[in-house]
Structure 1
Amino acid sequence: MERNLLVRLLAGDDEASVAARAALLDDAAYVVWDGTCPAEWHARTYARRLRHTRRKGIETLGLERAVRLLGRHDQPVRLGQVTAADGTWLFMLVLAEDGGELVACTGVRQAGE
């Protein structure tokens, strides 16, 4: 997937999308993986991550919102990842099956930064 398409998909005003978009515009590394799986699988995974990050005091962006959005999404999704150029943030992008829509975006501050 081309960088400019991801930038357009991240045009929302939620905190995680804004930060991921800024990272992409600042030459962040990114990948969008082939293949899909049910959104409910990711909803459960991100719910566990939310509990873990809260327990550990790890800073996140949009994780609670991503859990809600994925819980309501009834179609398969594909994943992408954006890593800030300075390594301080890692963003997970959840895209519609065809890659044409952003379903959810979440970010987590990386340890040691």
Structure 2
Amino acid sequence: RARQEEEANIALIETWEDIQAKVDADYQLIERLHAEEHEQFTDAEKDKLFMEFIEKRRKFFAAKRDEDRRKKPPTKAQQRSIMTTYLKSMDGWKPRDLKNKSFAKIKELFDKAMERNKELC
């Protein structure tokens, strides 16, 4: 009985060693294939990939700059121009009437016009 158990253990150990050898061989094959795949990229392909990366990076930062520019609030001069245009078209003001008014006065007129339009809607 002890001899049968010993033979079974020996057979089990041999099977385990065979499996371990196959796993090791597979691992070595994977490593070799990975190395070959890595070497497949020629210098031209590497240059092409690098140029694509640079182009994507350039476009990303250009888009980011544009987005930052759009997020910036308008300057006082731009606000004045927007409010003046609104008052001319919606409230019937003449350009010469608005020309000599201060920013604060134009803002006050603009706010009143906006309130009137909100009440109408």
* TM-score normalised by structure 1 residue count: 0.22
Compare the two structures and name the one with the higher strand fraction: 1
Task: Tell me which protein shows more helix as a share of its residues.
Answer: 2
Higher RCO structure, 1 or 2 (CA under 8 Å, sep 6+): 1
TM-score for the superposition, normalised by structure 2? 0.21
